[in-house]
């Protein structure tokens, strides 16, 4: 049976996407084929999710939707292998196949060389995808039609929210949502350290810091409020919060965060221009 969904690379991200697609019933386990070199890993995926597994990438590459979830540095070898192993009848059947790649720093142009004239969607998810709270930017290749974008929206909708951007903005996406989880983790750590400095036990400080970041994000999301409005609401004249905000401004907080996004965006562009360095992205 030709699989509906083929996954090449059953690692952290491949599993995160797969597990939620299955849990949401978007694919039945029998319609998924995961290609993965590690025998133990294959057994684990088969046992946990009931999906079909293989060590043969060419078998997975015949699926209606092919999700590439390998590391960027092995893409060249996988593409060469598929080029060598898929015969002409298999290729004509693949003209309707949608290829979806989550490989950081691997351009649509590079992907298109391997999957000539096929619809391709390049995607950049982020780490919160592991708990279903990711945000993914998707960029369509030249052969992708609206229905392919819709399929990609459904795939990545399983692991969080989805936005569409032109590929030229993928480096900016990397600088913000790709690298952003590290900035937010630093913020949580710093808040907790501040609490400890003010005398709170570490465990309590950690919990308060985390819940404050989570709760504030949820409040902004649910109300649709501008962040400045929320800040104004909680800063009473001569009060505690405006004293804290003033200290943040003296430390150049907002400029530092903007510079972080800019630095990661620029680094992503640099790495994209030197293919040998692609594996270092994120």
Ligand X SMILES: NC(=O)c1ccc[n+]([C@@H]2O[C@H](COP(=O)([O-])OP(=O)(O)OC[C@H]3O[C@@H](n4cnc5c(N)ncnc54)[C@H](OP(=O)(O)O)[C@@H]3O)[C@@H](O)[C@H]2O)c1
Binding of ligand X by 107 (CB under 6 A):
no
Binding residues among 81-100 for ligand X as defined by CB under 6 A: none
Give CA–CA dist 243/241, Å, rounded: 5
> What DSSP string describes 40-102?
HHHHHHHHHH--EEES-HHHHTTSSEEEE-S-GGGHHHHHHHHHHH--HHHHHHGGGPEEEE-
Which of 69, 79, 158, 159 forms a contact with ligand X (CB under 6 A)?
69
Binding of ligand X by 160 (CB under 6 A):
no
Q: Which helix (H) or strand (E) holds 32?
A: strand 32-35
**CB under 6 A: which stretch of 31-39, 139-147, 199-207, 242-250 binds ligand X?**
31-39
Task: Give min distance, CB of 16 to ligand X, in A.
Answer: 8
Task: Give min distance, CB of 106 to ligand X, in A.
Answer: 7
Q: Which helix (H) or strand (E) holds 134?
A: strand 134-140
Nearer to ligand X, 36 or 171 (CB): 36
> What DSSP string describes 154-192?
HHHHTTEEEEE--GGGHHHHIIIIITHHHHHHHHHHHHH
**CB under 6 A: which stretch of 5-13, 156-164, 209-217, 261-269 binds ligand X?**
5-13
CB count in 10 Å sphere of residue 166: 9
224 phi and psi angles, rounded to 5 deg: 70, 15
Nearer to ligand X, 179 or 206 (CB): 179
Binding of ligand X by 7 (CB under 6 A):
no
Quick one: tokens of 39? 């025998």
Residue nearest to ligand X as judged by C-beta position: 11
CA angle 5, 10, 15 (to 5 degrees): 80
111: nearest Cα among 84, 103, 272 = 103
Binding of ligand X by 135 (CB under 6 A):
no
Which of 21, 78, 99, 137 forms a contact with ligand X (CB under 6 A)?
78
Burial class (CB in 10 A: 0-12, 13-18, 19+), 276: exposed
Binding of ligand X by 140 (CB under 6 A):
no
Binding of ligand X by 33 (CB under 6 A):
no
Binding of ligand X by 18 (CB under 6 A):
no
Binding of ligand X by 175 (CB under 6 A):
no
Nearer to ligand X, 69 or 205 (CB): 69
Task: Give min distance, CB of 249 to ligand X, in A.
Answer: 32
Task: Give min distance, CB of 136 to ligand X, in A.
Answer: 8
Binding site for ligand X (CB under 6 A): 8-14, 35-38, 41, 57, 69-72, 74, 77-78, 102-104, 124-127
């Amino acid at each position: 049976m030709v699989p509906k969904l083929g996954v090449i690379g059953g690692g952290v991200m491949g599993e995160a996407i797969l597990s939620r697609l299955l849990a949401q019933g978007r694919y039945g386990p029998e319609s998924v084929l995961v290609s993965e070199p590690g025998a133990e890993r294959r057994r684990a995926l088969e046992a946990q999710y009931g999906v079909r597994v293989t060590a043969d990438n060419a078998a997975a590459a015949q699926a209606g939707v092919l999700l590439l979830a390998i590391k960027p540095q092995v893409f060249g070898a996988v593409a060469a292998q598929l080029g060598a192993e898929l015969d002409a009848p298999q290729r004509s059947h693949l003209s309707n196949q949608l290829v979806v790649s989550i490989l950081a720093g691997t351009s649509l142009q590079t992907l298109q060389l391997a999957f000539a004239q096929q619809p391709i969607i390049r995607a950049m998810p982020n780490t919160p995808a592991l708990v279903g709270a990711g945000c993914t930017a998707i960029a369509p290749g030249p052969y992708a039609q609206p229905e392919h974008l819709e399929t990609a929206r459904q795939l990545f909708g399983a692991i969080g929210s989805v936005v569409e951007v032109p590929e030229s903005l993928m480096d900016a996406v990397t600088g913000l949502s790709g690298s952003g989880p590290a900035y937010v983790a630093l913020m949580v750590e710093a808040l907790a350290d501040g609490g400890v400095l003010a005398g709170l036990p570490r465990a309590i400080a950690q919990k308060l810091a985390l819940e404050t970041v989570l709760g504030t994000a949820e409040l902004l999301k649910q109300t649709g409020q501008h962040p400045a409005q929320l800040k104004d609401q909680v800063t009473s004249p001569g009060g505690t919060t405006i004293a804290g905000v003033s200290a943040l401004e003296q430390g150049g907080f907002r400029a530092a965060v903007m510079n972080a996004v800019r630095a990661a965006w620029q680094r992503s562009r640099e790495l994209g221009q030197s293919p040998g360095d692609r594996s270092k992205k994120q």
